[in-house]
Amino acid sequence: MNRTKGDEEEYWNSSKFKAFTFDDEDDELSQLKESKRAVNSLRDFVDDDDDDDLERVSWTGEPVGSRTRPGSFQSLSDALSDTPAKSYAPELGRPKGEYRDYSNDWSPSDTVRRLRKGKVCSLERFRSLQDKLQLLEEAVSMHDGNVITAVLIFLKRTLSKEILFRELEVRQIALRHLIHFLKEIGDQKLLLDLFRFLDRTEELALSHYREHLNIQDADKRKEFLKTCIGLPFSAEDSAHIQDHYTLLERQIIIEANDCHLESAGQTEIFRKHPRKASILNMPLVTTLFYSCFYHYTEAEGTFSSPVNLKKTFKIPDKQYVLTALAARAKLRAWNDVDALFTTKNWLGYTKKRAPIGFHRVVEILHKNNAPVQILQEYVNLVEDVDTKLNLATKFKCHDVVIDTCRDLKDRQQLLAYRSKVDKGSAEEEKIDALLSSSQIRWKN
Amino acid sequence: MAFPHRPDAPELPDFSMLKRLARDQLIYLLEQLPGKKDLFIEADLMSPLDRIANVSILKVRSLSLRSCPSFLFEQLCFLVRPRIKNMRYIASLVNADKVAGRTRKYKVIFSPQKFYACEMVLEEEGIYGDVSCDEWAFSLLPLDVDLLSMELPEFFRDYFLEGDQRWINTVAQALHLLSTLYGPFPNCYGIGRCAKMAYELWRKLEEEEDGETKGRRPEIGHIFLLDRDVDFVTALCSQVVYEGLVDDTFRIKCGSVDFGPEVTSSDKSLKVLLNAEDKVFHEIRNEHFSNVFGFLSQKARNLQAQYDRRRGMDIKQMKNFVSQELKGLKQEHRLLSLHIGACESIMKKKTKQDFQELIKTEHALLEGFSIRESTSYIEEHIDRFGSPRFFLPVLRLLCLLSITENGLIPKDYRSLKTQYLQSYGPEHLLTFSNLRRAGLLTEQGPGDTLTAVESKVSKLVTDKAAGKITDAFSSLAKRSNFRAISKKLNLIPRVDGEYDLKVPRDMAYVFSGAYVPLSCRIIEQVLERRSWQGLDEVVRLLNCGDFAFTDMTKEDKASSESLRLILVVFLGGCTFSEISALRFLGREKGYRFIFLTTAVTNSARLMEAMSEVKA
C-alpha cells in the first residue's frame, strides 16, 4: 500500500485532473444575485443542520453568510456548544493543550451523533477503557462507517495496540473498519501486526505479497518476492508464489539476453520480428508464447527454451500445444505446426493427434491466416462430422465439404453447396461429376 | 414495440429540482471564495458536474479550462471525492509551497461529504489549518426521468468487500433529502444487511429533524431497499436488452456514451446522451436486441416515407414542411443512423466473441444443467491467452458458475485458478482472494462453513457476542443457495416452444426468456403481498433472516396514484437489465418505478471492483 511519491505524482499529473480558473471580474452581478436568491430559498433543505454555518468559513477564517436564520431551530445541546472559539473539525489528534474544556460533557451517544453530523467534538475525555469501548459501540450501533473510523483513529492513538487488537477481535464490524482504514492510509506495519495478533496468517501473507505491486524495478521486485516464499499462504498459493518468483527470475535473464541479441543485430528472428515490449512481468503463458516465438528450437538446457518452461512450471500439454501452435502459426512455420501434432506409434507409423481437439487447431490456424491447403488438412482431422462440415463451410474448404457430403450420401446438401462455389470452378466441376455419378446411392 | 404505459400509470415526480439544488449549492460554495483562484476538479466528478452545470454555467462563472498543475493564482480550490490519495496530493502541494516560502490559500470541497480519515491525513501532514474544508452534498444525480444515481461506484467494493460502512450515512442523507422534497414514503420494504442499516440511520435522521416531512402528502407510495449481494447472479449475466448491451459493449458513463468511428461512420467519436429525450433510443432501450434491428429498419422506412411526402407538395406546403417538420426529421435521422451504427458494431463484436455460445453457457449455468460442459467451456476461454479482453469475462463466468453451484468443486477450483494465474498473471491470486471474501467465487466443502479463524473467534467468546460475530461473518461470504431460490421463486420460466421476445410475457425477456432477474422477482413478490409474508423460506435461503423488513405507516393522505409509484434503491449498483425488467413489470401492473442506485453497474464493473490489479 505504500505509494511511492513517484506513483502519486504520476497519478496527479496524468490527464485525470482538469483545472479551472475563474475570476470574478467577469461575473455578472445579476446572475450572482439570482443564484444567491435561489440558494437562500432552498436553504431549508440544503442546510438541514443548524450548526451548518460553522462549516462555511471564508478565506480569513471568518464565518460568512447570513448568521441569523429566522425560524431555525436550535436545540439545547447545540446551544451549549456555542462557545466563541469555534473550531471547524473534530479534533481527533491534537495535543491536549489545544482542547477547550467542555463544562458539559457529551454522553457517548451524543458524541457519536455530533460526529455523524460532522460537528466539533472532542473525544479526549473518554479516557477509561470502558468509556472508549462504549463510544465505539455507540458508533457501531449508529451504522455510520465514517464515525466508526473516527472513533478508531482516536482509539488507535490512545490505546496500546495489544489492547486495541484484543478489543477489536470481538468486535468484527469495527475490526473490518480498522483493517480497511490501515490499508487505505498504507500503515502496512500495523496491519501486519494486527493480522499476526488475530492469527489470520493467510491474510498476513497476502497483505505482504500485495506490496510487490508497488515495486517497479524488476530486480527489487524479484528480491521482494523472495521474501514472500515461505510465508503462511495456503498450500496452493505457496506454489503460485514460488512460481511467481521463478518466473520473474527467468524473465530477467531472458530479457537481458534478448536485449543484447536484439541490439547486436546478428540474430535473424529479432531482425525480422523486433520485440514489441519487454517480457518482464508478463504472465506465464505470454512468456511461453514469447519463448515459442523467439527460442523454439533451443535445447532444454537453456532457461529460455519452451521445453524448459514447460517442465519448470508444469504447464499442461493442452496449454503448451495451444501456445506453441499460436506462436508457430504466427510465424507461418507450418512444418513446426505439423510436427506438434504428429506422433509415432511403436511400429513407426505416424498419426496426427491433438490434445485440444482439431476444431480448435483449425480456429487458431484460421486466425493466423493459414493457407487453405493447411486448413483443409486439419479440418479433415476433426472427428465430429457436423463440426467438420461447419468448419469446412465457414473457412471455405470446398474439397472437405464436397467429400463429406459424398461420404454422407447427402445429395441435397451437396446441391445446396453448389451455389456457394464459383461458377466454372474446379469445385463446381467436381460437384457436377459427383451428382451425375451413378455409383453413389444417395440417401436423399 | 415500445409498449406504452397504461393510461392510469402515475406521473413521475420532477427530479430536475435535484440538479438545480446541487448546482446552486456549488455556486454558493464557490461564492465563498472571493478573488481569482485555480479550481481543481477530480476526474470522477467531471461527468456528474457536467450533467448539472453545463458549460454555459461554467462560462457564467468565468471558469476557464486550464491544464494541471500550473497555478496562476494565490488561491487553490479542490473539488474532490474524500479519498486519502487526494489528501496526500494536496499535502504535497501545500508543503512544497511552504518550503518555497509561498503563501497561498487552499480550500478543499469534499463531495458528497468529508471523512474523518481525510482530515486525519491533513493533520498528519501538518497542513491542518492551512487548508479549509467544505462539503458539497451532491449525492443524487438524475440520469434520466426515472433514474437517480449517486455516482459512487466505490460503494460496492467499500461495503461488499471491505465491510466499510462509510457510505451508509450518505445514502441515509440522500433518502432524507428525497423525503423532504417529495414527501414521506408510507410503505417501506428492504432486504439485506446494508439496506437495514441505511434504513435505520435514515429513520434516525427523520426523527431528529422531526416535523419537516410531517403533513406532507406523499408523492411516492413505496420505497424498496435492496443489497447487491442479495442477487449477484443477475448482475453477472451478459445483457441482451439494448441499453444493457450498449453499456456492456461501449460503457455508458454518467448517462452518456462515446460512440467511436466504427459507430458514427465518420472519423470522429461522438459523445451521445442516452435518455428518454432521445426519441429513437427511448423506444428501443428496453427491447431485446433481436427486435431492435427490425424496429430500426421499420423506423427508417417510415422516415423515408415522411421525406418522400415532400414530392408533390406545393410551395406553401413545402414551406410548412421545411419550417415545421424538417428539423425534427433530420434529428430523427441522425439518431436513427447512430443507433443503427451502434447495432452493427455490437453485432460485429458479438459475432467475433461467439456470443451465442457464451449465452448458451450462461443459460446452462442458470438452469443448472451440463455443468461439466460449462466448466470446460470456461476452461477453454481461460486458455485463450493473449486476449486481455477475456480477463474480465472469464472471471465473471467463473463467479457465475460458483454462485449458481454453491461454490466450485475443489479440484476444479484449483485447476481453473492455476490456469487463470498462468494466463493472466500470478498477482491475480489477490483478486481470487477478494472474490472469495466477497462470496463471489468460492470452493465447495469445508470452505463454506466457518473458517478456522472464525471458529476460533466464536470459541473465544460465547453467547451474545458470538451471535454478533456470526452475523457479521454471514453478511460477507455465504452460501448462495441459488438453485433452491430459483426453484422457489420460479426464476426459470417453463416455456413450451419459442419464447416470443417481441411480445414478452414476463420479466425473463431481458435474458432471452431464460431467467427472471432474482432482484426484480423479489420486488415483484413483496409488492404483490405488501409484505414478506409467505417468503420466509426465500429470505432464509438468501441468508437475510434478520435483514428483511417492512414498515408501513398509516398514511391516509397517500393518493392512489402515489401508491403506484415505487422507489427502488439498489445498494451496490443496479444493471440496465434490471431497470428494463422493472419498467416492464410497471407497464404490466400499472406501476411506475423510480430507480435510485449507488451507481449503474454491470458484470465488468463488478469484476473490476474486485480486481487488485489495474488492467
Q: Do B39 and A22 touch (CB under 8 A)?
A: yes
Q: Single out the residue of A319, A293, A297 nearest to residue A307, CA to CA.
A: A297
| CATH number 3.40.50.1820 given to B354-405+407-446 | no
CA dist., res. B160 & res. B77, Å (int): 33
B-chain residues within 8 Å CB-CB of A284?
Answer: 421-423, 426
Please tell me what DSSP assigns to residue B386. Answer: T
Position B253 pLDDT exceeds 90: yes
Q: Do B426 and A247 touch (CB under 8 A)?
A: yes
Query: pLDDT tens digits for A332-354?
Result: 998 898 888 887 777 777 788 87
Nearest CB among B75, B169, B414 relative to A146 is that of B169
Nearest CB among B62, B135, B469 relative to A23 is that of B62
Question: DSSP alpha helices (H): ranges in B238-325?
Answer: 242-250, 261-264, 279-284, 289-308, 315-320
Position B555 pLDDT exceeds 80: no
A-chain residues within 8 Å CB-CB of B34?
Answer: 24, 58-59
**Spacing of C-alpha B5 from chain mean position:** 24
3-state secondary structure A355-412: CCCHHHHHHHHHHCCCCHHHHHHHHCCCCCHHHHHHHHHHCCCHHHHHHHHHHHCCHH
Nearest CB among A177, A284, A319 relative to B383 is that of A319
Give the pLDDT of residue B38.
80
- Amino acid at residue number B306: Q
Q: Do B105 and A115 touch (CB under 8 A)?
A: no
Question: What does pLDDT average to over chain B?
Answer: 86
Q: B415 to chain A, minimum CA–CA distance in Å?
A: 10
Q: Do B134 and A39 touch (CB under 8 A)?
A: no
Its pTM stands at: 0.84
Domain boundaries, chain A: 108-199, 201-315
Residue ranges of chain B that CATH labels 3.40.50.1910? 142-231+513-610
Q: B434 to chain A, minimum CA–CA distance in Å?
A: 10
Q: Which residue has the higher pLDDT, B455 or B248?
A: B248
- Count Cα neighbours of B235 within 13 Å in the Cβ-side half-sphere: 26
A-chain residues within 8 Å CB-CB of B119?
Answer: 89-90, 92
Residue ranges of chain B that CATH labels 1.25.40.850? 354-405+407-446
Q: Which residue has the higher pLDDT, B59 or B541?
A: B541
Position B573 pLDDT exceeds 60: yes
Query: Can you list the residues of chain A whose pLDDT is less than 70?
Result: 1-104
Stretch B485-514: mean pLDDT: 90
- B102 touching A, CB under 8 A? no
How large is the angle between the packed helices A108-116 and A129-142, nearest 10 degrees? Answer: 50
**Spacing of C-alpha B536 from chain mean position:** 28
Give the pLDDT of residue B69.
52
Give the pLDDT of residue B71.
61
- B450 touching A, CB under 8 A? no
In chain B, residues 391-430 whose CB comes closer than 8 Å to chain A: 414, 417-419, 421-427, 429-430
| CATH number 3.60.150.10 given to B242-351 | no
Q: Which residue has the higher pLDDT, A57 or B602?
A: B602
Radius of gyration from C-alpha coordinates of chain B: 26
Count Cβ neighbours within 10 Å for each residue of A161-187 and write b for 16 or more, e otherwise. Answer: eeebbebbbebbbbbbbbbbbbbbbbb
Nearest CB among A17, A20, A31 relative to B63 is that of A20
Stretch B84-108: mean pLDDT: 91
A-chain residues within 8 Å CB-CB of B60?
Answer: 28, 31
Per CATH, the architecture of B142-231+513-610 is what?
A: 3-Layer(aba) Sandwich (3.40)
Give the pLDDT of residue B70.
56
Nine-digit cell string for B50: 457536467
A-chain residues within 8 Å CB-CB of B48?
Answer: none
Stretch B533-540: mean pLDDT: 92
> Span B15-138: which CATH code?
3.40.50.2060
Give the pLDDT of residue A342.
84
CA dihedral A27, A29, A35, A38 (to 10 degrees): 180
Give the pLDDT of residue B66.
43
Q: Do A149 and B134 touch (CB under 8 A)?
A: no
- Amino acid at residue number A372: V
Q: Which helix (H) or strand (E) holds A117?
A: none
Determine contact, residues B570/B598, Cβ cutoff 8 Å: yes
Q: Do B123 and A92 touch (CB under 8 A)?
A: yes
B-chain residues within 8 Å CB-CB of A316?
Answer: 419
Q: Do A236 and B414 touch (CB under 8 A)?
A: yes
Q: Do A8 and B468 touch (CB under 8 A)?
A: no
Q: Quick one: closest CA in B to A94, which residue?
A: B123
Q: Do B89 and A243 touch (CB under 8 A)?
A: no
Instruction: Dump strand ranges (E) for B99-192.
Output: 105-110, 131-135, 141-144, 147-149, 187-191
Position B447 pLDDT exceeds 50: no
Give the pLDDT of residue B418.
94
Q: Do A19 and B88 touch (CB under 8 A)?
A: no
Instruction: Dump strand ranges (E) for B428-503.
Output: none
Position B465 pLDDT exceeds 80: no
In the three-class reduction of DSSP (H, G, I as helix; E, B as strand; rest coil), residue B161 is classed as: helix
A-chain residues within 8 Å CB-CB of B385?
Answer: 283, 285-286, 289, 322-323, 326
Nine-digit cell string for A414: 451437396
Q: Do A11 and B89 touch (CB under 8 A)?
A: yes
- B125 touching A, CB under 8 A? no
Q: Do A213 and B158 touch (CB under 8 A)?
A: no
Position B466 pLDDT exceeds 80: no
Q: B357 to chain A, minimum CA–CA distance in Å?
A: 14
Give the pLDDT of residue B58.
52
Q: A178 to chain B, minimum CA–CA distance in Å?
A: 9
Q: Are strands B75-80 and A350-352 parallel, antiparallel or unpaired?
A: unpaired
What would the DSSP string read from start to end of B282-293? Answer: HHHTTSBHHHHH
Q: Single out the residue of B154, B243, B259 nearest to residue B599, CA to CA.
A: B154
CA dist., res. A269 & res. A296, Å (int): 11
Nearest CB among B60, B164, B177 relative to A28 is that of B60
- For an interface test with B, the pick among A41, A148, A169, A180 (most B C-beta atoms closer than 10 Å) comes out as A180
Predicted ipTM of the assembly: 0.90
Nearest CB among B58, B429, B472 relative to A240 is that of B429
- B132 touching A, CB under 8 A? yes
A–B CB contacts, 8 A cutoff, strictly below: 290
3-state secondary structure B2-62: CCCCCCCCCCCCCCHHHHHHHHHHHHHHHHCCCCCEEEEECHHHHHHHHHHCCHHHHHHCC
Q: Which residue has the higher pLDDT, B613 or A144?
A: A144
B-chain residues within 8 Å CB-CB of A111?
Answer: none
Q: A432 to chain B, minimum CA–CA distance in Å?
A: 34
Give the pLDDT of residue A45.
41
- B381 touching A, CB under 8 A? no
Q: Do B460 and A170 touch (CB under 8 A)?
A: yes
CA dist., res. B255 & res. B99, Å (int): 44
- B453 touching A, CB under 8 A? yes
Give the pLDDT of residue B3.
56
Q: Are strands B565-571 and B222-227 parallel, antiparallel or unpaired?
A: parallel
Q: Single out the residue of A196, A201, A185, A206 nearest to residue A162, CA to CA.
A: A196
Give the pLDDT of residue B351.
83
CA dist., res. B486 & res. B492, Å (int): 7
Nearest CB among A24, A90, A212 relative to B35 is that of A24
In chain B, residues 103-122 whose CB comes closer than 8 Å to chain A: 105, 107, 113-117, 119-121
Count Cβ neighbours within 10 Å for each residue of A64-97 and write b for 16 or more, e otherwise. Answer: bbeeebeeeeeeeeeeebeeeeebbbbbbbeeee
Q: Single out the residue of A216, A281, A228 nearest to residue A254, CA to CA.
A: A281
B-chain residues within 8 Å CB-CB of A179?
Answer: 162
